Homo-oligomer: A and B are copies of this chain.
């Protein structure tokens, strides 16, 4: 049953822009509780919260990192999980996504966590199925739990994000992580910017209120936090990137940058191409949040699974 007076009304999580300030507070507050218990590494008090809830992990576009994080989150709460991957499925027998999803739905899972290469898949499914849908990445569009965990990890390091300058760096054009970050960071009162090769910057950024830098040094001068996106090697094949070496030279962050900007914090959604976006020393730098982000991920996903289950009256 939804808690009386609950601040979290959502029965799906489709896009970061559906989350208002009080929804974010509610997610972060619940995540705080779970993170504290996770860190105790002892007998836990939340292992039966989602007892009897069945969660399908439908990663039609493959991912280990995000899938594992959702799977651990669900299992920590006592939910049952079921992996459904494209390769193993009837999709390879020529079945359409809709048919496959109706098949999954007919099994009556309570929640479906979906990743798909087509933007809009989560909305499409939420409009047609009865299960709760959680977007784990749709094309270039949204990856809301990544945006949430980035903001949560950063808040845990520095407190309020009000007025903080945060610059996303790298391949902004193809990045659903960037989109979800922009939405959530602005709701939290941060100032957002983007910096990357001209071929990888969308035209619409400034219209969206995102400040644009073309040179890394200028971006780092402005920024309190650099959130560096992963470079997809396949972008080079289509001529959008000259080479990893050239990208590294222009936009990679090394020890020198950390020295020049002694307050700068560095984030990366992982997995890092070491020596490309970040040098090895930066990954493990005390002003890097890379591992805190992963840890934040399981707490955030536990909170979302629990809050959405409560909003749906499942528990």
A59 to chain B, nearest CB (A): 10
Task: Evaluate contact between B271 and A107: CB separation under 8 angstroms.
Answer: no
Q: Please indicate the chain B residues that have their CB under 8 angstroms from the CB of A314 in the complex.
A: 41-43
Copies in the complex: 3
Complexed CA–CA distance, A291 and B312 (Å): 23
Given contacts A64-B88, A99-B272, A298-B107, contact A71 B75 (CB under 8 A): no
Give the size of the chain A interface in residues (CB under 8 angstroms).
Answer: 58
Task: Evaluate contact between A107 and B43: CB separation under 8 angstroms.
Answer: no
A130 to chain B, nearest CB (A): 6
A169 to chain B, nearest CB (A): 19
A-B contact pairs, 21 of them (CB 8 A): A41-B131, A42-B313, A43-B313, A43-B315, A48-B51, A52-B78, A64-B89, A69-B107, A72-B107, A72-B109, A99-B271, A99-B283, A102-B291, A102-B294, A103-B270, A103-B271, A106-B295, A107-B294, A107-B295, A107-B298, A108-B298
Query: Could you tell me which A residues sit within 8 Å of B by CB distance?
Result: 38-39, 41-44, 47-48, 51-52, 54, 62, 64-65, 68-69, 71-72, 75-76, 78, 80, 82, 84, 88-90, 93-96, 99-100, 102-104, 106-110, 130-131, 270-274, 283, 291, 294-295, 297-298, 312-315
